[in-house]
Amino acid sequence: MFKLHGFAVSNYANMVKHCLIEKGIEFEQLDARPSQEENYLAMSPMGKVPCLETPEGFLSETSAILDYLDELQPDPPMYPSQVFKRAKAREIMRVTELYIEIAARRHLGAAFFGRERSEEAYAEVRPQVEKGLRAFAQLASFGPYVMGSDFGSADIFVYHSFRLASPVLKRTYDWDIRAEVPGLAAHIAVMDERDSTRLVVADHEKAMAELMAQIAAAK
Which residue ranges make up the site for a second copy (CB under 8 A)?
Answer: 36, 41, 45-47, 54, 56-57, 59-61, 63-65, 67-68, 71-72, 83-84, 86-88, 90-91, 93-95, 98-99, 102, 118, 120, 131-132, 134-136, 138-139
Cα-to-chain-centroid distance, residue 102: 10
| Minimum CB–partner distance for residue 206 and a second copy (Å) | 29
**CB of 62 or CB of 166, closer to a second copy:** 62
- Please list, residue by residue across 15-35, b when 16 or more beta carbons sit within 10 angstroms of its beta carbon and e when fewer do: bbbbbbbbbeeebebeebeee
| Minimum CB–partner distance for residue 188 and a second copy (Å) | 21
167 touches 21 (CB < 8 A): no
| Minimum CB–partner distance for residue 61 and a second copy (Å) | 4
Q: CB neighbours (10 Å) of residue 154?
A: 27
| Minimum CB–partner distance for residue 216 and a second copy (Å) | 28
- Please list, residue by residue across 74-109, b when 16 or more beta carbons sit within 10 angstroms of its beta carbon and e when fewer do: eeeebbbeeeeebebbbebbebbbebbbbbbbbbbe
**CB of 71 or CB of 192, closer to a second copy:** 71
| Minimum CB–partner distance for residue 120 and a second copy (Å) | 5
Cα–Cα distances in angstroms (integers) from residue 121 to residues 160, 169, 173, in the given order: 22, 12, 12
52: left (phi over 0), alpha (psi -120 to 50) or beta: beta
**CB of 91 or CB of 192, closer to a second copy:** 91
What single-letter amino acid sits at 44? S
**CB of 98 or CB of 215, closer to a second copy:** 98
**CB of 47 or CB of 77, closer to a second copy:** 47
27 touches 179 (CB < 8 A): no
**CB of 58 or CB of 175, closer to a second copy:** 58
| Minimum CB–partner distance for residue 193 and a second copy (Å) | 29
